[in-house]
Amino acid sequence: MTISAWRQRLQSGEVSSRELVDQHLKRIEVSESSLNVYVEVTADRARSEASRIDDARAAGESLGSLAGIPLAIKDNLCTQGVRTTCASRMLERFVPPYEATVTERLWASGGVLMGKTNLDEFAMGGSTETSAFGPTLNPWNTSHVPGGSSGGSAAAVASGSCLASLGSDTGGSIRQPASFCGVVGLKPTYGRVSRWGLVAFASSLDQVGPFATCVADAAELLQVIAGPDPRDSTCLKADVPDYTAALDQPIKGLKVGMIRECFEAEGLDAEVKASVQASAAQLEALGAELVEVSCPRFNDGIATYYVIAPSEASANLARYDGVKYGFRADNAESLAAMTSCSRAEGFGAEVQRRILIGTYALSAGYVDAYYKKAQQVRTLIRRDFDAAFQLVDVLLTPTAPSTAFKTGAHADDPLSMYLADLLTIPVNLAGLPAISVPCGFSQSGLPIGVQLIGNVLEEARLLQVAHQYEQAADVFAARPEADLVP
């Protein structure tokens, strides 16, 4: 059921907020041992907040749009009084003294926190296997990964332990796990949503966005979290439109660009390609015009990203030195030794790898050859998108080159793991909005996602196209619910 449908039941008294929360807590109890979705479950807080909302509703008080709705939050968003670990030993005991802007807005609208979800350590990964608290597993098949880095948030929605969730997307960390888990995942325009309280990975790329079971629910969450924030200097001051207003408008006459380089990408699975092409045909049947476009530097995105993102991570993670907060190694003989040991013991292997790559790229004698050059290519990638949007209204690609891969499949080959983000990374480099919507299943029963990309601040149009496709394709109704982990 959608958030709107649950809201109607709550308002009519057919179900109470407390009953809805207890239902989802029961779901967590049943599935958590199989999936490892949550770093922390906030059961007492959820029950208390649900009861407060029920009392307020009974008293006739005005309530927010998400009043009583069970939500989960990726554990790199600060939640006052609730641990925020980034799935790292470095922050295992960190309890923030303040609330992230996006979560503050969710609670103000009545949303109920069910718990903090697992992720790749410091959001660095594409499988949720690098977490210090163990990997999260895919609800469709527990021998496969849920994607990453927001794998816990995607799996929480897919497994029914919350109605919607928040994740963060630096190079595909919302859209790729949404594709792998068969849910909707939206990455907004860079600056559309505040990053205040999001623990930084790569500050020029990170963006917070929602996971949901349908496009309408994703639009509802975006409506709540979007908008200016004086605490975040990169947050845009643009007005927030009504994202649900245009959902039911037809898309006849809109031009949908098929990016040639994406459908010719090395490693693109045949089943994925066929399913995504079928989704394009569905849009054409709805009256959209399909146009082949070229973004010549699209496939250069991955090399560009793996210079820029580690460089920014190297700078951002320098603050974790074992002095003010976070993990501190014992028995060090000097301050320098303490810092060195704290970082070596507090950070996992993938985080250390990316810090080292970034430090090297920023070092004297190499910054022009690597970091500056990568920023120049980033500009060219953005220009390719600008040119494409002169011809079309939205762009269409596969979300990921394959369906969810098996747990451990890329453990000894980080480069092959990085390639899983081949089709999502350029969007982050250009700062554009994009959404992944389920478009089918492989023969083995694993979900496949189609990615729709919009121009800057055109989330409303993106959501409109995605919703119209979702309603016509009816993929959600056809998906094999019984195959999900009980």
- Which residues are catalytically annotated? 74, 149, 173
What is the 8-class DSSP label of residue 118?
Answer: P
CB 342 within 8 A of CB 325: no
- CA distance linking residue 58 with residue 199, whole number of Å: 38
In 3D space, the residue among 418, 428, 406 whose CA is nearest the CA of residue 357 turns out to be: 418
In 3D space, the residue among 128, 307, 103 whose CA is nearest the CA of residue 202 turns out to be: 307
Which residues 6+ apart lie within 8 Å of 459 measured at CB?
A: 186, 188, 189, 192, 222, 226, 243, 433
CB atoms within 10 A of CB 462: 26
What is 200-260 written as a DSSP string?
A: PS-TTT--EEEEESSHHHHHHHHHHHBS--TT-TTS--PPPP-TTTTTTS--TT-EEEEEH
User: Tokens in use for 96?
Assistant: 């923030």
- CA distance linking residue 263 with residue 240, whole number of Å: 34
CB 394 within 8 A of CB 100: no
What is the 8-class DSSP label of residue 420?
Answer: G
In 3D space, the residue among 322, 321, 291 whose CA is nearest the CA of residue 389 turns out to be: 291
Strand pairing report for 112-117 and 164-168: unpaired
Residue type, 453: I
- CA distance linking residue 398 with residue 267, whole number of Å: 12
What is the 8-class DSSP label of residue 327?
Answer: -
- CA distance linking residue 184 with residue 220, whole number of Å: 13
In 3D space, the residue among 168, 240, 239 whose CA is nearest the CA of residue 197 turns out to be: 168
Residue type, 312: E
| Rounded (10°) angle between helices 301-316 and 373-388 | 130
Cα 381 to Cα 101, 251, 431, distances in angstroms: 30, 27, 11
Dihedral angle, C-alpha 94, 313, 295, 446, nearest 10 °: -40
CB 241 within 8 A of CB 460: yes
Helix or strand holding residue 117 (H, E): strand 112-117
